[in-house]
Amino acid sequence: MTELLNTLYVQTQGASLHLDHDSLKIVIPETPKKTLPLRRLDGIVVYGHVSLSAELLARCAEDGRSVVWMSLSGRFLGRVDGPTRGNVMLRHAQHLSHADPVLRLQIARSCVAGKLQNSRQILLRGARDATDQAQVTLRSLAQDIEDLLGRAEDAGTLDELMGLEGQAARLYFEGLSHMLRPLSDIPSFANRTRRPPTDPVNALLSYLYGLTRALVHGAAEQVGLDPYLGFLHGMRPGKPALALDLMEEFRPIHADRLGLNLLNRKQLRKEHFETLPGGAVQMTEDGRRLVLTEWQAWKNKDWPHKLLGRKVSASLLPVVQARLLARHIRGELPAYIPWTVG
């Protein structure tokens, strides 16, 4: 159980949370009960087998305090947020933009551009810290991503754009494997696998993507955008496509860079991962606790935002970007400009 920045993360398996007047009561078998004033909390995130009482859920919905369920491996499962906010004009405009092929492709291109720009920066940054052959490889991968970035500008269809994005992702993950220092006792990884991850690096990335996704999803909701209606990722039942669109520009810094640091600084080690029968790999409870603590510190870090002309914490960047997107969708800004590092 970790309480950080008004968000309570509960990952002790078997814990249950209850409403006790204006407080949250945490019951963990064979441990003294704890209570926290609800007022102090903006959100509750639970991992795996943690139960919440109906009264507590109702109260959180009423107060607009989000409750997020994540799987133990950090996959986003669902959230409760209270009533949908009434921004019907914005949602309507979002549907109209989605239905307009030109606007839709333009926004999708911005999302891909943001992802490729930031991926490229991670590779260049990795190259600075690398030596010899790895440095050469990383710079050449960054160059390949530059070429794809240029081609994304001319992509005439969403399929073409998605194809370029997929190629860039393969190059980028190849780069990540060169950025993991061999000193670490964690095996390097070959490529990105998910559902379920079968090596520690992928298990960590999945977990960090889950955290990033919950953050971006919350930002879209907060601004009044429909998280399920995307531009790049389209519209598919049960898939928060807009949250995924907005997440693209944040993956490299919010998740990948943090993950690399944790591994390269040997904060995360072999004992923080466990292999389940059959081969799936997940983080141990200690591992997740460590990542969550680092994640909170990482979210507090300020990054320059060029359009705003000031610094914004990583935790608020998705909200700022969701607002910029909303202003573009409502016709007040000529384009959607993704957040790029640097």
Partner 1 sequence: MTDAAPQAGGVPLQQVMLSALEHHAYCPRQAGLILLEDGYADDASTIRGTLMHQRVHEPGHETRGAVRTLRALPVWHDGLALVGVCDVVEIHSDGRVIPIEHKSGSYTQGGPADVQVTGQAMCLEAMFSCSIPYGVIYSAADRRRHTVALDAAARNRVLTLADEVRHTLAVATLPGAVADQRCRRCSMHDMCMPRVLARQGAITRAASKLFTPQPEAVWDD
Is there binding between residue 219 and partner 1 (CB under 8 A)? Answer: no
Given the complex with partner 1, which of 39 and 170 has the nearer CB atom?
A: 39
Is there binding between residue 42 and partner 1 (CB under 8 A)? Answer: no
On whether the CB atoms of residues 232 and 112 are closer than 8 A, the answer is: yes
Is there binding between residue 217 and partner 1 (CB under 8 A)? Answer: no
Distance from C-alpha of 286 to C-alpha of 278, rounded to nearest angstrom? 22
Chain residues 224-243 in contact with partner 1, contact rule CB under 8 A? 224
Among 1, 36, 72, 341, binds partner 1 (CB under 8 A): 341
Is there binding between residue 89 and partner 1 (CB under 8 A)? Answer: yes
Tell me the β-bridge partners of 51. Answer: 16
Is there binding between residue 306 and partner 1 (CB under 8 A)? Answer: yes
Please choose, out of 44-52, 173-181, 184-192, 296-304, the segment that lies near partner 1 by the rule CB under 8 A. 296-304
On whether the CB atoms of residues 247 and 213 are closer than 8 A, the answer is: yes
98 is in an annotated binding site: no
Is there binding between residue 160 and partner 1 (CB under 8 A)? Answer: no
Among 8, 60, 149, 243, binds partner 1 (CB under 8 A): 149
Given the complex with partner 1, which of 239 and 305 has the nearer CB atom?
A: 305
Is there binding between residue 65 and partner 1 (CB under 8 A)? Answer: no
Binding mask 316-335 for partner 1 (x = CB under 8 A): ---x---xx--x--x-xxxx
Number of Cα atoms under 13 Å in the Cβ half of residue 61: 12
Phi first, then psi, for residue 52 (nearest 5°) are -125, 140
Phi first, then psi, for residue 276 (nearest 5°) are -90, 160
SS3 of residue 180 by DSSP: coil
Please choose, out of 73-81, 115-123, 209-217, 278-286, the segment that lies near partner 1 by the rule CB under 8 A. 115-123
Chain residues 68-87 in contact with partner 1, contact rule CB under 8 A? 85-87
**Dihedral, CA atoms, 40, 251, 318, 160, nearest 10 degrees?**
-150
Indicate if the alpha-carbon torsion angle 294, 299, 300, 306 is positive or negative: positive
Number of Cα atoms under 13 Å in the Cβ half of residue 236: 8
First to last CA, the chain: 35
Residue 109 identity: R
CA 255 from chain center: how many Å? 7
Contacts of 157 (CB under 8 A, 6+ apart): 105
Q: How far is the CA of 238 from the CAs of 71, 242, 243, in angstroms?
A: 16, 12, 12
Q: How far is the CA of 212 from the CAs of 19, 270, 275, in angstroms?
A: 28, 23, 24
Is there binding between residue 153 and partner 1 (CB under 8 A)? Answer: yes
233 is in an annotated binding site: yes
Given the complex with partner 1, which of 41 and 333 has the nearer CB atom?
A: 333
Given the complex with partner 1, which of 51 and 84 has the nearer CB atom?
A: 84
Given the complex with partner 1, which of 27 and 103 has the nearer CB atom?
A: 103
Among 13, 170, 307, 311, binds partner 1 (CB under 8 A): 307
Residues belonging to the binding site for Mn(2+) are 165, 233, 248
Residues that bind partner 1 (CB under 8 A): 85-90, 109-110, 113-114, 117, 120-121, 124-125, 146, 149-150, 152-153, 223-224, 257-258, 261, 298, 301, 303, 306-309, 319, 323-324, 327, 330, 332-335, 337-338, 340-342
